[in-house]
Amino acid sequence: MIGRSRRAVLSGSPLYPLREHVLPHRCWSAGPADASPDGGPLVKVLVTGGAGFIGSHIAEAYRDRGHQVTVLDDFSTGVPANVPDGVQLVELDICDPAAGKLIERERFDVINHHAGLISVPESFRIPVAYTTVNVVGTVNLLEAAVRSGVGQFIFVSTSVVYAEQERMPYREDDPTVPTSPYGVSKLAAEEFVNMYARQYPSLRTTILRYGNVFGPRQRVYGEGNLVAACATKLLSGDRPTIFGDGTHTRDYIYVGDIAELNCRLLEQPVTGTFNVGTGIERTVLEVYREVARAVGTDREPLFGPPRIEQARIVLSIERIQQALGWQPSVSFSEGIARTVAWFRTQITNASPRDEASTEHTLRCSSGAGDTAGVGNLQR
């Protein structure tokens, strides 16, 4: 394995400097006869936001199946140490024209787009930035995908695009009336993805509306941070603060199941919009109790004033089950146990990736949005 210290710097045009820093790990070219360890064809895939929480797990899973993986991340929130060995790493902003040039030059088979701004509260403060990154950045990638003949474009969206309603679970055809600039930006990006799919039939597009994803490497502040924030606080001997009375609900899914689904999409490309969750509704207090049990404490949380957010979100996953035969395989309790074990190791080893520093006040919300600090590059 080639070490991370070997770094090649590529230069761009005077007008648009190519801000790429390539880590030349084990790279190869996949010919038509090449096959991954599971027997499927090798795929040349770009994972945007691949130094983040979810994206790094997907890049790792792709690599483990023998695919040729390039990660693109600007490290505004991603962590280089998250990126697995055996992939090529490019430091670049998705809005930069150089990102399009990279796609045209490398001619990827698949783009898996996980990069984006993701904090609901922050989106109210800087809506222009959210529009630029989440919408314009996505269009930049779509344009390059069409120009370079990319065959598949996987776009990650969110469950906060749905209108608040009494009937649960949410189905993909339910009304979409987002109530934050973040939600609006993701829905607008979805519309662009769908438009490109109609205009360019050779580009297969898949939109994934995630529930609340949790697991190792999750940021302790950012979208859906309940598990990470509570685990970090409890492991540090502190009491997390829960906004409201703890009865808000969300659909929580372990990141390993998300990675498995994204691998399945390379083997069985399906088009359309799909909810990705478990179909199980859990309250904030239920989640807190499970995290506390895994930590081994009976410490009670603190309670703060409620935030303005949807009271309930649970997703129907019938469509993705029927399309792929996929369903989550890691139980909630097992996923929590794995997550707590990872955070325990980070705190014990004082890892640079441990974001539970004393300068942050970590609080817990059911949250589709940021509850402490700011969220930025996604997954």
Say if residue 63's pLDDT is above 90.
Answer: yes
Residue 216 pLDDT class (50, 70, 90 cuts):
very high
Q: Average the pLDDT over 251-260 and give the result.
A: 99
Query: How many Cα atoms sit within 13 Å of 117 on the Cβ side?
Result: 28
d(CA 254, CA 212): 9
Length of the chain: 379
Lowest-confidence range among 26-30, 140-144, 220-224? Answer: 26-30
Between 212 and 17, residue with greater pLDDT: 212
Residue 41 pLDDT class (50, 70, 90 cuts):
low
Residue 359 domain-assigned (yes or no)? no
In this structure, which long-range contacts are made by residues 123-126, counting pairs with CB atoms below 8 Å and at least 24 apart in sequence?
123/180, 123/181, 123/182, 123/185, 123/369, 124/180, 124/181
Say if residue 133's pLDDT is above 60.
Answer: yes
Say if residue 21's pLDDT is above 50.
Answer: no
Lowest-confidence range among 76-85, 98-107, 345-354? Answer: 345-354
Residue type, 115: A
Tokens 């509570």 sit on residue: 230
What does the pLDDT read at residue 232? 95
What is the domain count for the chain?
1
Residue 208 domain-assigned (yes or no)? yes
Enclosing domain of residue 160 = 8-215+250-280+314-330
Q: What is the mean pLDDT of the chain?
A: 85
What does the pLDDT read at residue 3? 31
Domain CATH number, residue 65: 3.40.50.720
Three-state SS annotation for 303-320: EECCCCCCCECCECCHHH
Residue 265 domain-assigned (yes or no)? yes
d(CA 270, CA 172): 15
Say if residue 2's pLDDT is above 90.
Answer: no
Residue 298 domain-assigned (yes or no)? no
Is residue 292 within 8 A of residue 299, CB to CB? The reply is yes
Residues that are catalytic? 182
What does the pLDDT read at residue 348? 85
Q: Judging by DSSP bridges, how do beta strands 363-364 and 241-243 pair with one another?
A: parallel
Lowest-confidence range among 65-69, 97-101, 118-122, 276-280? Answer: 118-122
Task: Please choose, from the candidates 90, 161, 96, 158, the residue with its C-alpha nearest in 3D space to the C-alpha of residue 133.
Answer: 96
Q: What percent of the chain has pLDDT over 90?
A: 76
Task: Please choose, from the candidates 138, 72, 74, 73, the residue with its C-alpha nearest in 3D space to the C-alpha of residue 105.
Answer: 72
Residue 369 pLDDT class (50, 70, 90 cuts):
very low
Residue 194 pLDDT class (50, 70, 90 cuts):
very high
What does the pLDDT read at residue 222? 60
Say if residue 304's pLDDT is above 60.
Answer: yes
Residue 37 pLDDT class (50, 70, 90 cuts):
low
Residue 35 pLDDT class (50, 70, 90 cuts):
low
- Joined tokens for residue 324: 């792929």
Residue 338 domain-assigned (yes or no)? no
d(CA 2, CA 6): 7
Q: Average the pLDDT over 68-84 and give the result.
A: 95
Query: 45: which DSSP letter?
Result: E
Say if residue 206's pLDDT is above 60.
Answer: yes
Residue 370 domain-assigned (yes or no)? no
Q: How large is the angle between the packed helices 181-199 and 137-148, nearest 10 degrees?
A: 20
Residue 122 pLDDT class (50, 70, 90 cuts):
very high
Residue 286 domain-assigned (yes or no)? no
Residue 193 domain-assigned (yes or no)? yes
